[in-house]
Structure 1
Amino acid sequence: MTCSVLAVFTVSHCFFLTAIMVLYCLILFSTMVGFSFQDGITPKTNAVQALESNSVTLSCNYTTSNTGGSLHWYRQYPRSKPEFLILLYRVKDTEEKDGFVVKHNKTNSHVHLEISSAKVTDS
C-alpha cells in the first residue's frame, strides 16, 4: 500500500522530517471472520506540508467490496508498532476524537483525516 508523508514545520525552524507516517493514510477496512475482500487505498497526494499548530487534511480514495464494516486510521513511525488513532463506522459520515476528524464521502469513495493542530511529531 502507498502512504502520504506529512511534513510539519515549526515557525522558528524548518524541519522536513522524513519519519514516515505510514498509516496516517493506511485505512484498514475491518472484515468479518471467514470473508475475504480486495481493498485498495490511494492517497490523493504523496506529501503534505503544514506549519506547526495549523490544521492539515490527509485525503485518500479507496476501493472495497465490503459494504459494511468500518474505517480504521493508524499511525506508525519507523521501527515502531502501529498506533490506533480513530475509528469510523461506515454507517456514519464523520467521527471526531482527540484532535482528529474523519470525514467519509461514501458516494465518491473518499475519506479525509483532519489533524486539528499539526505537531512536528506528526511527521
Structure 2
Amino acid sequence: MDLIITLFLSAVSGNVITPDETELFAEEGSNVTLSCSYSSADYLYWYRQYPGSFLLLVDEYSTKSEPDLRLYSKATKQIKRVDLLISSAAVSDSALYYCALQPTVTGNTRTLYKNLIHSIASGLHKCVS
C-alpha cells in the first residue's frame, strides 16, 4: 500500500497546524504514523474521508488532559506534534486524513467545507493504495 501525503497550509487566529511530511510510503501490514505540528491548541482532531463519502471523526485529543491509552492518537506537547498511529495498515485505510484544531463539518461528499462557527486550520494527509 502506498501512502501519499499532500500538504495544505491554513491559519486561524495565529494558530497553524501542518503535516510533518509531504509524502510517505508504507507497505500493507506495516505500522504507519501520520504526524502534524501545531502552534497552539487545546484540542486536536483527526478526520478520515473515503472517496465519495462523508468526513468522519477518527479521534479527538485534548492537550489539557492525559491521553486515553485506548485511542490511537498521541500528542507530544513539548514539540507541539500530534500523531495518528495506524497499526497493520490495510487497503481499507486508504483515505484522506485531516488533522485539525477545531471541529470540522462537511456538507458535500466531493468538497470539504469549513465549519463557519469554528474555523479550521488543517493539514491534509492523502492516503491511496
TM-score over 0.5 for the pair: yes
1:120–1:60 CA distance, 2 compared to 1 (3 A): same
Task: Show the counterpart of 2:48.
Answer: 75
Q: Does 2:35 correspond to 1:59?
A: yes
Q: How many residues align?
A: 91
| CA offset digits 1:84-107 (Å, max 9, x no partner) | 11111212353444xx62121112
**Could you tell me which amino acid in structure 2 is paired with residue 73 of structure 1?**
W
Pairing 1:86–2:41 present: no
Instruction: Return 5+ residue gaps in structure 2 as ranges.
Output: 95-129
Deviates further, 87-96 or 37-46: 87-96
| Backbone CA RMSD of aligned residues | 2.9
Distance across 1 between alignment mates of 2:65 and 2:13: 21
The structure with the largest alpha-carbon Rg is 1
Deviates more, 1:52-61 or 1:39-48: 39-48
Deviation at 1:37, TM superposition (A): 4.0
Structure of greater relative contact order (alpha carbons < 8 Å, 6+ residues apart): 2
TM-score, length basis structure 1: 0.59
- Structure 1 residues 116, 48: CA separation in 2 closer, same or farther (over 3 Å shift)? same
Distance 1:93 1:54, change over 3 A: farther
Structure 2 length normalisation: TM-score?
Answer: 0.56
Matched, 1:40 2:13: no
Distance of 1:48 and 1:94 partners within structure 2 = 26
